[in-house]
Amino acid sequence: MTDTTRWTVSVSRNTDIAVRSFLAQRGMKKGDLSRFIEEAVKWRVLDQTVAEARGKFDDMDPEELDALIDEAVTAARQPA
C-alpha cells in the first residue's frame, strides 16, 4: 500500500481472536491484518452497492428487467 490512511477501530474480543486465529491458521502474519480488513471492507461495500442497485428494480416486471439486462449486455459487447 503506497498511499495509506491509519484507522483506529474497535472490535469485540471474540472478533479479534477469531480474525487473528483465522489469519494464523493460514500462515499470515500480524501485518496481514490490514490487508485482510481492506479486502473485507471492499467486498462489503460492493455487496451493499449491489444490494442497493437490485432494490431499485424490485418493482419492475421480471420480463422487462430481463429485456433491459439483455440490452445492456449487448451494448457492452459492442466493439468500441
In the Cβ-directed half-sphere of 12, how many Cα atoms lie within 13 Å? 3
Domains of the chain, by residue range, sit at: 30-77
pLDDT recorded at residue 1: 53
Instruction: Kindly report the number of other CB atoms within 10 A of residue 37's CB atom.
Output: 14
* pTM for the model: 0.69
Do 54 and 47 contact (CB within 8 A), yes or no?
Answer: no
**What single string gives the DSSP state of each residue in 24-68?**
HHTT--TTHHHHHHHHHHHHHHHHHHHHHHHHTTTTS-HHHHHHH
Asked if residue 33 lies in contact with residue 19, where contact means CB atoms within 8 angstroms, the answer is: yes
Per-residue pLDDT 10s for the chain (80 aa) are 578 899 999 999 999 999 999 999 999 887 899 999 999 999 999 999 999 999 999 999 999 999 999 999 999 999 87
